Structure formats: structure tokens, C-alpha cells
Amino acid sequence: MANLLLSPLEKMYILHGVRDDCRSDGRTNIDYRPMELETDVVSHASGSARLRLANTDILVGVKTEIDLPNNDQPGYGKLEFFVDCSANATPEFEGRGGEQLANSISNMMQKAYQSSDAFDLKQLCIFEGKQCWKLYIDILILECGGNLCDAVSLAVKAALYNTRLPSVKTALLDGGNVDLQLSDDPYDNKLLNVDLAPLLVTLCKIGDKFVVDPSAEEENCSVISLIVGATGNKTNYNIDNKKNESCTDSKCTTIVMNGSGSLAPKTLKNAIKQGIEAVQFLDQALGQALLRERRENVTMKKYSYGFLK
């Protein structure tokens, strides 16, 4: 991350704030900073989203391509994550400087989306064993203000929610080769089911307590952080908003520990529990925002802001 210089006194101030559950910007330990989300910002991509979490700015574009399915998974599509750390965020990322961070984030996303409980790759199948959709999820990091993983996972889920796959009109089978005809009508398309797509939550251990959504300064004070990824909840993305009784619990899809410190088993267990609770809260907020935007889109009330706001 961007190099940030903090004096021992400044660190002490942050540490005491976390201990007393009142952080330097007035939040409690479980509060998130304000977020701005807009989908459909890049017209050349099939789906896109821009998320700004305080100073962290993420732009995600999803591009689709027709590909051959893997031999061992004939009925499944493919997902590929690519992270680009733009030099706009910090001059350190110039050239190939951001590659290490980019790889670690894309690996983490790949792991979180790997389970079929998190994202159903079957919906990307066109013709079993012959053709499938491959989604390129390109993540562009434009500014780093701490808590990249959470912001990236939120933006990716929003972009996937916004992704439209063109409908397949006809498929001709000609001597083993499949010839697909895609619909030309931009409104004739299929949306993806991303209700269960996972969100990541970073928990930073500062002193004896864990905080969510650490700012860049707080990340600097922490010796160890825990990233918990858990699946979303279907009921959050239902338009009729009926609370089903069969509400499934979030399942943990990935856990990563970063940093030089270590954790006792009991603290670890508590932290994971806290992380899953935070995921459920975030997922609910994201679901509400996405549903509202879709409603505005249908009623033609949506105004496109992009970066001009």
C-alpha cells in the first residue's frame, strides 16, 4: 500500500480510539464509511460499476467472450479476474509496480468465487461441452484510501448484477462445430443471478479489538488483518422483498490472513463471526441500492453521474 508515515503518538491516538470504540473519524468499530455506487458507467463493457468508499475508488468492467468449456467441466462457464492498479492511485504503481498487490487481490477474488455456492457457473453454459461464456472481470483501482478488498468485492458484485449477456437466437450444429447466432437487439438479453455472490470484509486488529473498514492510517497501525469472504443472501435481491422463512445463512467462502502478527484461536473465531455479520449487513445495503437503481432505470428516472458529480 501507499507509504504513509505515522508518528508513534499518532498511532497511539488511533489505538486509544479503537479501545474506546470511537475512531479518529467518529465511527464506532463496526461502522463503514459512506459509499457511493453507480452501475452502468462504461458503455463498452457488458456490465460495469463504480464504487467510491471514502477515498477508495474502484471501477469494474465486465466483458464477455464465447469460449470452449474445460474438458473436465463441460457444463460450466468461466470467470476470470484481472486487477489493474492504476498509477493514478499512487506513483508507486507506475509501470509494473502495482502487480504484486493486483495479483493478491485477483487471487483472493478468484478463491472467493470458486465455490458453486457462491456463484453458479452453470448459468454461463451455452451448449454443454461445446460453448460457454467467459466473463472477464476487470477491476481498475483508481485511488487507494484503505480497505481495498471490501470495496473491490462490492463493486464486482454490483457489476455482475448489471451484466447483460446477449441472448442466443439459434445454434447450428455442423459436424461437431457449433455456430451461434447472437441477438442484435440490445434489449434482448439475459441477466445473471448473483444473489449469492460473496462479499469480502477486512477486519483489522488494532490493539485487542477488531475494526471493519479500516482507513489507510488504521491499516498502518495494525499488525494483522483477517479477510473473511461470505456468500450473500437471496432475499436481499428479490424485487417483491418478501422475507422468506427459508432464509439461508451466509456461508464462508474464503478466509485470508495478512500481516506479521498472529491470532489466538478464540479471537480468530470471534473475528470470523464478526466478519460474517458485517457481510450480511453489507449485502443487505448493497441489495437495497441495486434494487433501487434498477427500479429507477425501468422508470427512466436514473441520471448518469459518472465522474462528473
Partner 1 sequence: MPAADLLSSQGLRLDGRRANELRRIRCKLGVFTQPDGSAYLEQGNTKVLAAVYGPHQASKSKSSSDGVVVNCQYSMATFSTGERKNRPRGDRKSQEISLHLRQALTAAIKTELYPRSQIDIYVEVLQADGGTFCAGVNAATLALIDAGIPLRAYVCACSASMAWGARPQPLVDVPHVEEAAGGVVLTVASLPNTGSTALLEMSHKLHMDYFKMVFSSAVQGCRDIEVILDRAVRDHLAEGWTEQDTVTV
CA dihedral 59, 63, 68, 72 (to 10 degrees): 30
Q: Residue 95 or 186: which CB sits closer to partner 1?
A: 95
Nearer to partner 1, 64 or 254 (CB): 64
Phi, psi of 235 (to 5 degrees): -65, -20
Closest distance of CB 155 from partner 1, Å: 13
To the nearest whole angstrom, how small is the minimum distance from the Cβ of residue 79 to partner 1? 14
**Are the CB atoms for 138 and 82 separated by under 8 Å?**
yes
CB of 3 to partner 1, least distance (A): 12
Residue 80 or 277: the one with the smaller Cβ distance to partner 1 is 80
Closer by beta carbon to partner 1, 57 or else 213: 57
Q: How many CB atoms lie within 10 A of CB 86?
A: 16
CB of 138 to partner 1, least distance (A): 4
CA distance 64 to 69: 14
Smaller CB separation from partner 1, 79 or 224: 79
Q: How far is the CB of 232 from partner 1 (least distance, A)?
A: 24
50 burial level (CB within 10 Å; 0-12, 13-18, 19+): buried
Cα 39 vs. chain centroid, distance in angstroms?
13
Q: Which of 116, 204, 120 lies closest to 160 in space, CA to CA?
A: 120
Please report, as ranges, the residues that interact with partner 1 according to CB under 8 A: 2, 42-45, 48, 55, 57, 59, 61-63, 65, 82, 84, 86-91, 94-96, 136, 138, 140, 142-145, 306-308
